Structure 1
Amino acid sequence: MASGSDFTTEQLLSDLFKCVSVEALKNENIQKYDLKIYGTEDKIEQYGSDIAFVDISAENFNEERRDYNLVLKYGHTQKNVRNKVPIRDGFKREIVVYTRLIPCYQRFQQEKNIRPLDFIPKCFLTKYSDTDEIIVLENLKSMGYETQDRHKPMNLSQIKLVLEAYAEWHALSFALEDQKDPEYLEITKSFRLNPWKPYFQNQLGEMIDFAQQSLYAILEQNGETTLLEKYRNLVGCDSARIVLTELMSASEDTAVILHGDCWNNNFLFKCEDNDAKKTSSAKVAMFDFQMSSIRSPVFDLSHFIYSVASDEELLHFIELMEHYYFHLSQNLTKLGSDPEKIFPFETLILHWKKYSAYGAVLCPFIMMYCFIDKQDMADFGVCQTLKNATLKIDYIRRTMAVAKHFVECDFLV
């Protein structure tokens, strides 16, 4: 692919015509089309990939016109990035999700006469070759979906919508495993490895450790020495990379295929059509499965809740866990499996005590990306801009709230 910044170059146009206009529409009986290409507005949010938006106005052989609004996601083309980031591994996992796992889930739901999951964007095309990694999805923003401001916590309604989606996503894994579906069991072989491990060996791993040390400094500077001591005792090690590696290496029979990348920017929300003021979200969509693996559901839940909630939302923690479990149980029952046998609520709470350090330890790192200032990038570079984010009052408040909840929750749940 051509460089992500050169969206008008002949090379990129050629790639897009071949990968989108021909392959993605070949089953649509298309005779001719007009194509518009434009770039992403927020490069900072794409670590190992670039994004192009593609709008196609097409006409079939019956002279019927139809518009296609697509997102083309492709591997970062700069060699210095590709040498540092395991781009191909992430794309390979994500392509398996779109081409094998989701069709498996939808086939299973249809067999059970259940509406197939509808919170994942439709995938038109994937390509994984020696030179390219490409995923073409429908552009949900053209349907009224919007990102939630990453600087702000999600509200309780949004969090519950995501937890309902996770409940359906996790239930499908649990039920297919319970019923020994051969197709699913074969697919799980692609998700056994720790997707974080290659990242820990580069600059990103260093930033994860830096974020953890920043949290320790914040707690000490704010007089929370007792909280700091309890937190360090619970996580067991001052290296975030070591903590995450040990958690991801734990053997767990009760496991699902995770979403894996559970921060604000991997969700889109849509309000009711008659909600002109956009006061509440009615639908959610989730995407980006490059960090998917097979682990306890709590890896998703702790990563998500600690990445999107403020102290106000964390006060509703038990309510949120009960909300998730209610929908998990409903989905499992519809799919023909017994939730009390597979994953009772007591086991969910035990898993939270065992694995929630995953979300707590990731939180200071994720918060850096939430509060990064794009305008500082040119002056300071990525790493220094990320470090500067830890000085912001909202960063301090959010990370302290998570540390406090993580410590107190160990004694409450």
Structure 2
Amino acid sequence: MNELDEETREEIFSIIAKAIENENIYESVNKYKTDITVLNSEQSSFGAFEFILGVNVAANLFNGREIYMDLFVKISDKSKSNRKIFRRQKHTYTEIFWNIHQFLMHKHMSSQFDFIDIWPIPFKMFSTDTREVLIYNKLSEIGYTFPLNKFSAPKLMNYGVLAMLAKFHAVSFAFREQKPEEFSALVKEWNKETTPEEILSKHPNVCAILKTGLKMTIDMLKEEQKTDLVDKIKNDFKNGALAVITKVLSERPDDCVVVHGDLWLNNIMVKNKVYDSTTEMNLKFINWELSTIHSPALDLAYYIYFTISEEPHEIFEHYVEYYYKEFHAYLIKYESDPDKSFPFLKLLDHLSKYSIYALIMTLSAVPFITVNSLYVKNESVIEGKNDENCGKYQKYERLKYSNLRKEVKDFVSKKIISVLELHYKYFSG
């Protein structure tokens, strides 16, 4: 689905209105409504798996009042695989997160996980003749916005993200350790529909991003005469990017936690753009399509590789140590023994084993996101060309690094070389 034309827009708006009429979550609307209107969308974007639409819904009540609801709607073309992805997302929110929250309530610590209550909760999922649809509440309604820069954040925000990530991993770890049967049952049901490795290996858009991004990275390194890095990448990915991803994600360690799986700034929202002086920042992690159980090192490396822009190889150790300090403290608070269950050396071992997942996702996605952000602005990223006659992923697949504009090359090469130097400084290649 490459665009939202007027016919599709009307179809989707009628679907949303009907879904809200039949959904008990808005009791006051159901009890008093006379009419529900879906207003014009205020924002929209393409994800790798779906078209994401932000809409405002107006309801006229019997007593003459009007109420407004902000919603996020994820829409994909109708297919069995897309339906599985949406079902898995709903299970993540309504079962995995809910049970973690209940675990803390029994410890009288539910306030420690209060951010779960206002993550975008999917309250309606359904299929039409042509679409798969998942409806959420929208965080912008309560003051949350996306960071302006997709690849870089202030240091204070990095600390806030790492602290929240440590808290989430710690409570997940404690839940698995203290309620193993409940945890196993939830995960078994979670993976019944599909798994992240299946999603990544079978989705054509993702395959296009991985293949083209890796090729563009190698072409860039050749042009920059970084032959040592070319050799290391070719050796690490000799069987292709998907083979590496599948291997890492399928090798789930015994001491695993629930991980986000795709934690970069486009999947983090900040309340009112306020970066205060504490690590308890108003942050929300969203878009949990690739969430799974794995080592906490998976999320840690992913965020650092994707986001840290200021010479990351110089501050990598500092951020890893900061994350573990927070993780260690939260595990103690949640009545688990970090020194016995997950010592610092184990985190370092997991980083060595699994950070290659973060590496390939970064190498593949950075060129794509950079290129796509310019297409959104109707600018050409290619010297002397502006191709508007094909879809986003088709455009990207046809790109070559040698044809990119100089400023695009400069950004992509600086970011990718910095990440590669970080990775191969600490891990084999």
Q: Tell me if TM exceeds 0.5.
A: yes
Aligned ranges 1:185-224 → 2 under 5 Å: 185-192=184-191, 194-201=195-202, 202=204, 204-224=206-226
Q: Deviations over 1:305-324 (max 9, x none)?
A: 21222243442212211222
Q: Contact 1:310/1:398 (CA < 8 Å) preserved in 2?
A: yes
1:400 maps to 417
The list of structure 1 runs, each at least 4 consecutive aligned residues, that deviate by more than 6 angstroms after superposition, is 59-65, 272-275
Aligned residues: 398
Q: CA deviation at 1:26?
A: 4.1
Q: Does 1:164 align with 2:163?
A: yes
Counterpart of 1:177?
Answer: 176
Amino acid paired to 1:227 = L
1:262–1:189 CA distance, 2 compared to 1 (3 A): same
**How far apart, CA to CA, are the structure 1 residues paired with 2:37 and 2:282?**
29
Within 5 Å, give how 1:118-133 maps onto structure 2: 118=115, 121-123=119-121, 125-128=123-126, 133=132
User: Residue 19 of structure 2 aligns with which residue?
Assistant: 19
Does the residue aligned with 1:252 lie in a helix, a strand or coil? coil
SS in 1 for 2:391: helix
Decide which moves more: 243-252 or 285-294. 243-252
Distance 2:252 2:358 in 1: 18
Aligned to 2:391: 381
Q: Secondary structure at the match of 2:32?
A: strand
Task: Give the aligned partner of residue 95 of structure 1.
Answer: 90
Distance change >3 Å, CA 379–CA 59, structure 1 → 2 = closer
Report the Cα distance in structure 2 between the residues aligned to 1:127 and 1:371, rounded to whole angstroms: 32
Deviations 1:75-99 (A, max 9, x none): x13x6xx48xx31221111010111
Kindly provide the amino acid, as one letter, of the partner of residue 386 in structure 1.
Y
Q: Deviation digits for residues 59-88 of structure 1, max 9, x if unmatched?
A: 8789887543222223x13x6xx48xx312
Contact residue 167 and residue 328 of structure 1 kept, 8 A: yes
Aligned to 2:383: none
> Residue type of the partner of 2:16?
L
Gaps of 5+ in 1: none
Report if the CA contact (8 A) 2:197-2:250 is conserved.
Answer: no
CA distance in 1, matches of 2:36, 2:388: 35
Alpha-carbon distance between aligned partners in 2 of 1:381 and 1:10, rounded to the nearest angstrom? 22
Q: How far apart, CA to CA, are the structure 1 residues paired with 2:297 and 2:249?
A: 12
The normalised TM-score by structure 2 is 0.81
Cα 1:283/1:179, change in 2 over 3 Å = same
| Structure-2 residue corresponding to 1:267 | 268
Output the CA distance in 2 between the equivalents of 1:176 and 1:403: 35
Quick check: 1:409 aligned with 2:394?
no
Range moving further from structure 2, 192-201 or 207-216:
192-201
Letter in 2 for 1:172: V
Which residue is 1:288 aligned to?
287
Q: Do 2:257 and 2:296's aligned partners in 1 also have CA atoms closer than 8 Å?
A: yes
* Contact 1:124-1:137 at 8 Å conserved across structures: yes
Distance 2:8 2:360 in 1: 41
Aligned to 1:326: 325
Q: In structure 2, what residue type is equivalent to 1:47? A: A
SS at match of 1:268: strand
Partner of 1:6: 6
The corresponding residue for 1:248 is 249
Q: Which moved more, 1:108-117 or 1:310-319?
A: 310-319
Letter of the aligned partner of 2:212 in structure 1? F
- Residue 338 of structure 1, CA deviation: 1.3
Q: CA deviation at 1:272?
A: 6.3
1:117 maps to 2:134: no
| Inter-partner Cα distance in structure 1 for 2:10 and 2:289 | 29
Distance change (3 Å), C-alpha of 1:208 and 1:40:
farther
Distance 1:259 1:323, change over 3 A: same
Pairwise CA RMSD of aligned residues? 3.2
1:16 Cα deviation from its structure 2 partner: 1.3
Shift of 1:151: 4.9
CA contact 2:268–2:286 (8 Å) conserved in 1: yes
Counterpart CA distance in 2 for 1:274 and 1:171 is 23
Who is 2:70 aligned against? 69
Give matches, 1:352-371, under 5 Å.
352-371=351-370
In structure 1, distance between residues paired with 2:320 and 2:166: 11
1:136 corresponds to? 135
Q: 1:106 aligns with which of 96, 101, 104?
A: 101
Aligned partners of 2:125 and 2:133 also within 8 Å: yes
Tell me by how many angstroms 1:213 deviates.
Answer: 2.3
> Which range moves more in the overlay, 20-29 or 206-215?
20-29
CA contact (8 A) 1:188 1:257 kept: no
> Aligned pair 1:226/2:225, yes or no?
no
The range that moved more, 284-293 or 301-310, is 301-310
1:122-178, Cα deviation, whole Å (9 max, x unpaired):
426132458664433222223322212355422322222222222122122211110
Q: Note if contact 1:174-1:342 (Cα within 8 Å) is conserved in structure 2.
A: no
Stretch of structure 1 that moved more, 65-74 or 218-227: 65-74
C-alpha contact (below 8 Å) 2:312/2:419 kept by paired residues: no
Please give the TM-score of this superposition, normalised by the length of structure 1: 0.84
CA–CA distance in 1 between the matches of 2:123 and 2:205?
32
Q: CA deviation at 1:369?
A: 3.2
The answer as to 2:311 corresponding to 1:312 is yes
CA contact (8 A) 1:332 1:338 kept: yes
In structure 1, distance between residues paired with 2:126 and 2:343:
40
Paired AA for residue 85 in structure 2:
G
Letter in 2 for 1:98: Y
Percent of aligned positions that are identical: 23
